[in-house]
A = this chain, B = another copy of it.
Amino acid sequence: MPVSALLPLLPSAAPRLKERVFRIDCELSYEVSAPTDFVFLVHALDDPEQRISGESIAFHSKVPFHVFADPTQGHRFTRVRAEAGRFTLLYRALVRKRPFARDLQAPEHPVHELPDHVLHNLAPTRYCESDHLGRAALQLFGDLPPGHPRVQAIADWIHEHIEYAIGSTGPTTTAREVFVQRAGVCRDFAHLGITFCRALNIPARLAVGYAHFDEPPPDFHAVFEAWLGGRWVLFDPTKMSQVEDLVRIASGRDAKDVAFATLFGPARMLSMNPQIEAVGRLKL
């Protein structure tokens, strides 16, 4: 690792009671055949729910890069222009997560009680055509009592009816297609959850991050959040992860907002290896 020194990832401060600490180690590798612009979204989010104790980003070739934050959500994009050749990104972080107390009685809110800043999470987006799935959502979930259990029922329905099948979907697959073909991967599951929620006037958005799971190869994980009881609540319709342990990178309206890498140029991914490890609940 010749270029930018990776920081030693020692906790900068003693974690608070009941915090969980995770170590992130993410390597992305590309074969670049001509100068290519990358916009990466790999930094763990630094916000009151999860604090970055230390982090570093480095590239396997001496390139200038630039980090900027989304003005409303705060997640951080990294822009970098790679020359032809092999190109590797390395990101490491130590993250302290607050425990999340899930309120199983959290209510839905009528539209007129929603805060201004979540209203746009009711609109259809590229991957989540809630305008097409209105009647289907009402049929499936319209008679359930509103609130956390209804959104949980959405996640459960998806888990039961959508087959987790790597390769069944691609970068243009939308929730409507997933609803029809009944197969997809984690982001498709999440998109369908978002779509059903919005169709029921429940604000919903995508959350992406680092998650640990046993079986599939290491990958970024995508789940969805619904606005319940005055805050965002996570749901994982794949049931592959403990959503409480997701180290969040970003949240957005759908995967177009929060792709982990966007490429402008002829490059091909060689490998991805986003590792996460729980380093224990540090004691006082």
Binds B, one of A177-185, A204-212, A234-242: A177-185
Interface residues of A toward B: which range? 35 or more
A182 with B136: in contact, given A126-B126, A171-B131, A256-B123 (CB under 8 Å)?
yes
Interface residues of A in 119-136 (CB under 8 A from B): 119-120, 122-126, 129, 131-133, 135-136
- The listed residue (B71, B116, B139, B201) touching A161 by CB distance below 8 A is B139
Q: Contacts A72-B72, A201-B264, A264-B111; is A132 near B79 (CB within 8 Å)?
A: no
Q: Which of A90-138 contact B (CB under 8 A)?
A: 110-112, 116-117, 119-120, 122-126, 129, 131-133, 135-136
Check A163 for interface membership: any CB of B closer than 8 A. Answer: yes
Residues of B within 8 A of A77 (CB): 116, 119
A39 located at the interface, meaning its Cβ lies under 8 Å from any Cβ of chain B in the complex: yes
- Which residue of chain B has its CB nearest to the CB of A72? B71
A85 to chain B, nearest CB (A): 17
| Residue in B122, B135, B163 whose CB lies within 8 Å of A163 | B135
User: A116 and B68 in contact (CB under 8 A), knowing A131-B172, A171-B131?
Assistant: yes
Does A139 contact B71, Cβ atoms closer than 8 Å? no
Question: Do A120 and B257 touch (CB < 8 A)?
Answer: yes
Nearest residue in B to A172 (C-beta to C-beta)?
Answer: B131
Query: Could you tell me if A79 and B123 are in contact, using CB atoms closer than 8 angstroms?
Result: no
Chain A facing B: main interface SS: mixed
Contact B182 A79 (CB under 8 A): no
The answer to whether A37 has its CB under 8 Å from any CB of chain B is: yes
Q: How far does the alpha carbon of A162 sit from the alpha carbon of B144 in the complex, in Å? A: 19
A72-B117 Cα distance, complex, nearest whole Å: 12
Asked if A81 is at the interface (CB within 8 A of a chain B CB), the reply is yes
Rounded to whole angstroms, the CA-CA distance of A131 and B173 in the bound complex is 11
Alpha-carbon distance between A129 and B125 when the two chains are bound, in angstroms: 11
A150–B222 alpha-carbon span in the complex (Å)? 38
Contact of A112 with B81 in the complex, beta carbons under 8 Å: yes
A176 at interface, CB cutoff 8 A: yes
Q: Are A139 and B68 in contact (CB under 8 A)?
A: no
In A23-64, which residues have CB < 8 Å from any B CB? 37, 39
Q: Which residues of B contact A183 (CB under 8 A)?
A: 135
**25 examples of A-B residue contacts, CB within 8 angstroms:** A39-B119, A71-B72, A71-B117, A77-B119, A79-B112, A81-B112, A111-B264, A123-B257, A123-B262, A124-B126, A124-B256, A125-B125, A125-B126, A126-B129, A129-B172, A131-B172, A132-B172, A132-B180, A135-B163, A136-B180, A136-B181, A139-B161, A139-B182, A180-B180, A201-B264
